[in-house]
Structure 1
């Protein structure tokens, strides 16, 4: 089997209620720029990144994938995924202009598409190809009811619905309001609504200074918060280490880290408790696995960020022993041929061959019209 062509694809899916916001961003659509990798065997692999649906930058990602990396893949056997990843990762012209950022997002989309092809060629879902088990319990925690732009009444209603009607036993809400007292009122209201038996997480999306994070973080234990996610500057290892020393609530981070070496530094410094690699921001499944193995060797739980809207990450969670909990946000659900399925607050192991990122015919038709 040989690669014959790379085709650029850009999907822009609407988010919940038309607009969502955290402490630093407000968006109306989730972007999935990526590629279809075609072969002479009639199989096609799909891989996507995850963005805030900015068309100009999404085009840069797919252009890098197709024109900078693509020529290196033509004629290659897509099943030799790790060797191809090394070849692309060390490609000097691309590495010279960026060892992270856009180039990493492009490489991640390609790597996912290659693993998709490898699993399809084997006739297996990716989690099975990677040695996982459908009997494993992978719990879902839901973030899609906890946005910072929701009024407190909507926030409480959504979190209660997720727990009482949809079976989730873990929810996450956003913090980082201009007034910390607002965050505390929202936390208090949600905890009262969902009760003590449901896990509650918080996420500041890197908004806070270290003093602000310490001040808010010291109050989180009052509401039995499981973790304080991305409390301060994404890349600041020392600040997170100081926060670990100052508060009781564990720290979660990783969605904004591009390199396995960055995770190494946070883990070695004792600056993180819940490790959150994102397959679309790391350079795909190949580098994700490196990070997951590293975290697991330190007995740290791996709880992936869901930049792929849980399509690929569900496979990785069923496969990797360090993963037992995964974020759920359904924005790409109607755009995927085999969307992630939740039952009683847990993911159901996918049955279709591949990595789960194949768009529906309708999604592809809309892209073609664009």
Structure 2
């Protein structure tokens, strides 16, 4: 045991990046996004991980988690994940604590792969070479021109054959505009590309069923969070009554959450966010739960944190190429992936770990903690 590398130190940094235009979905508006970066060091090797969460998450890492994992064998990431989960018992695991654990867990997997000189996908074991992505944005604050430019940029310029827009504007009170924007989106991408929508829980159950009929007329195939994912019985009822695939799960912070959602028959495709659910360790377990029930999994946001793990599961449907996070990850990191043609290929360049390095000079102006 003594000759095995240990985790010597955990560090944090916080970066806040303004959006390139005002953004909103069905139930929230924002004008900036915060990334909490975690580094895990063993000797001269450093791994990185991150989550999109408030700056206080970095404090949780320093106060509750750093001491828990420092000194552990760097190869024993599942052990570290379990000990971190136990360490936040009184703080409460779901929410910010799970996001803090996620950032550390991702950093530890990146560190392990770097210590072994392997791309993370090779360490995990690949189930596929390419990871399909879908362009995601289409915020409710966009006018017709901005929405069309964004969608055409994905579908035409980058060749991504599936895109998603936000609907459910103002908690479902602007349904006519929602459907108008869906029609415009279909016109922008043509008939060959898949069209998805995300209501972020903005509709009522009956309203979601009624809207689904109009969505189907536009060839929409993916209806994300038609109602809040807190209401699994309602979500399952909607799934039984509409022809579109129902997706949810992005707010899952613990493994039992995903089991409850799957057991309720609430989704056709489970979503899980590696930066929220406790990291790569738990995301892979969620994928296993879904696989056991014959259900696909889709990675929610943070594409470069997901890509290698996504390539390691056989029941992956796709990965969200989310506008905000793609911008931020291109800004803060070198080694980002190219989605041209509609997929990314993690590990193709042979770079160890996640293949990312912090672009310190570009990132410096955005550091807030």
Give distance in 2, aligned partners of 1:363 and 1:36. 18
The worse-fitting range, judged by mean Cα deviation, of 281-290 and 29-38 is: 29-38
Note closer, same or farther for the CA distance 1:115–1:270 as it changes in structure 2 (3 Å cut): same
Matched, 1:87 2:83: yes
Q: Which runs of 5+ in 2 are unaligned?
A: none
C-alpha displacement of 1:357: 4.8
Match of 1:44 in 2: 46
Match of 2:22 in 1: 19
Give distance in 2, aligned partners of 1:291 and 1:86. 15
Give distance in 1, aligned partners of 2:174 and 2:364. 45
Q: For residue 231 of structure 1, give the secondary structure of its aligned residue in structure 2.
A: coil
Match of 2:320 in 1: 327
Match of 1:31 in 2: 34
Give distance in 2, aligned partners of 1:164 and 1:363. 29
The worse-fitting range, judged by mean Cα deviation, of 192-201 and 351-360 is: 351-360
C-alpha displacement of 1:192: 2.3
Per-residue Cα deviation, 1:26-51 (whole angstroms, up to 9, x for no partner)? 22222111321222x21111111113
Give distance in 2, aligned partners of 1:222 and 1:335. 41
Kindly report which structure 2 residues correspond to 1:62-73, keeping only aligned pairs within 5 A, or say none.
62-73=58-69
Specify which structure has the higher proportion of strand: 2
Q: Which runs of 5+ in 1 are unaligned?
A: 52-56
C-alpha displacement of 1:137: 2.8
Give me the CA root mean square deviation: 1.8
Give distance in 2, aligned partners of 1:71 and 1:161. 45
Give distance in 2, aligned partners of 1:294 and 1:132. 18
**Under a length normalisation based on structure 1, what TM-score does the superposition of the two structures give?**
0.91
C-alpha displacement of 1:311: 0.8
- 8 Å CA contact 1:104, 1:281 repeated in 2: yes
**Residue-pair matches, total:** 356
C-alpha displacement of 1:369: 8.1
Give distance in 2, aligned partners of 1:70 and 1:87. 11
Give distance in 2, aligned partners of 1:97 and 1:353. 34
Give distance in 2, aligned partners of 1:12 and 1:369. 6
Match of 1:313 in 2: 306
- 8 Å CA contact 1:142, 1:171 repeated in 2: yes
Per-residue Cα deviation, 1:198-242 (whole angstroms, up to 9, x for no partner)? 100000111122222222123221111111101111321111011
Q: For residue 335 of structure 2, give the secondary structure of its aligned residue in structure 1.
A: coil
Kindly report which structure 2 residues correspond to 1:100-249, keeping only aligned pairs within 5 A, or say none.
100-132=94-126, 136-144=129-137, 146-177=138-169, 178-249=173-244
- 8 Å CA contact 1:48, 1:357 repeated in 2: no
Match of 2:284 in 1: 289
- 8 Å CA contact 1:232, 1:240 repeated in 2: yes
C-alpha displacement of 1:194: 1.6
Note closer, same or farther for the CA distance 1:363–1:98 as it changes in structure 2 (3 Å cut): farther
**Under a length normalisation based on structure 2, what TM-score does the superposition of the two structures give?**
0.91
- 8 Å CA contact 1:229, 1:253 repeated in 2: yes
Note closer, same or farther for the CA distance 1:235–1:166 as it changes in structure 2 (3 Å cut): same
